[in-house]
Amino acid sequence: RACRGRGFQESLQSCCTFIPTQTFLCGSSAIPLWTLLHFLTVTRSGALKTLSCPGLLPLTAYFKKTLERYNRNVVSGRLAVAHDGKKRIHVFGPSGGCLWRFGERGDAGNDIKYPLDVTVASDGHVVVTDGGDRSVKAFDFEGRGVLAVREGFRLPWGLDATPEGEVILTDSEAGALYRLTADFKTGRLKKCGMIRSQLVSPRGVAVCQTSGAIAVIEHLKAQGPNGGSTRVKIFSAEMDLVGQVDSFGLNLVFPSRIYATAVAFDKEGRVIVTDVCSQAVICLGNPKEFPIFNPLISHGLSYPVGLTYTANDSLVVLDSGDHSVKIYSST
């Protein structure tokens, strides 16, 4: 394996600049279908640097999730990362420079106790689920808190933004999926309603930006030494169940155990998941053919927990095993 984690040691104290690099393969002679463009990790001084021959990595950050959004009001390529450092949210620009850091642990309006997921709404506001006080919080890109919704949730977890400016989020303890509509510019909550119930510990969620389909990862409890498993459910824009597959079903076509940690849609509407057991990124197909099994990235990952696509169709993977952001291209 190209990159191996050493455990969570320290929190990220500061963040500088992504350093552009030439293409390299991070210790692997080949990566099927996808080429690794950038491999970025965090040094003890807080600077981001590129490693072409990673060995014992100075692990300092506990990243949670990355998501990226684009529209005419937002500079293309901004990337929001939630992690367990002093400043919970880091926003990076297209060139990799850290534009803003905000969200310290505390009880003030701009504070974030324990971020579980992050997304960027169509108007550019950063929306975060905070497991510390069981709330959903919205910030402008400079880190000013504009809205906090604390009532009605048991444990809000995953979230993703729709093209219409709404936010779809999961409540892991309630076993439900919610749709939140708000005017983030004025800090006014318009509506927050349950759109699906009777889910089993839903966490990761993704919205297809073309069809409006929604993918949810359920975490299923199990007895015995093997622990739990996961199930991916696909709903249409009208919230009809159109497909599902669990770890057992995938094991019928793939010999090793699969545990999905993050989900996204590519520009063709195909469902993409990260798998921490095989340390891979896997395509499960579009809702009409769901599920298929097509590994996209099978080398160079340690513990992938987040992924998103950029405007130029590059795939961004958040690797919690070595605390890095890895960017792949299909060309």
Which range has highest mean pLDDT (74-83, 184-193, 242-251)?
184-193
Q: What is the pTM of this model?
A: 0.79
Range in 54-68, 105-119, 198-212 the model is least confident about: 54-68
Q: How far is residue 174's CA from residue 156's CA, in Å, rounded to a whole number?
A: 9
Strands in 260-265's sheet, in edge-to-edge order, are 260-265, 271-275, 280-285, 294-297
Looking at residues 25-36, what average pLDDT do you find? 40
Identify the H or E element spanning 251. helix 247-251
Per-residue pLDDT tens for 154-167? 999 999 999 899 99
pLDDT at 329 over 50: yes
Looking at residues 258-281, what average pLDDT do you find? 93
In this structure, whether the domain defined by 35-329 belongs to CATH 2.120.10.30 is answered with: yes
Looking at residues 193-197, what average pLDDT do you find? 97
> If you average pLDDT over every residue of the chain, what do you get?
76
Tell me what pLDDT residue 31 has: 34
Residue percentage of the chain with pLDDT more than 70: 72
Q: Which amino acid, 308?
A: T
The answer for residues whose C-beta is within 8 angstroms of residue 238's C-beta and 6 or more apart is none
List the domain boundaries for the chain: 35-329
**Distance from chain centroid for Cα 121:** 14
pLDDT at 52 over 80: no
pLDDT at 9 over 90: no
| DSSP states along 229-242 | EEEEEEE-TT--EE
Looking at residues 125-134, what average pLDDT do you find? 93
* Spatial CA neighbour of 315 closest among 15, 1, 38: 38
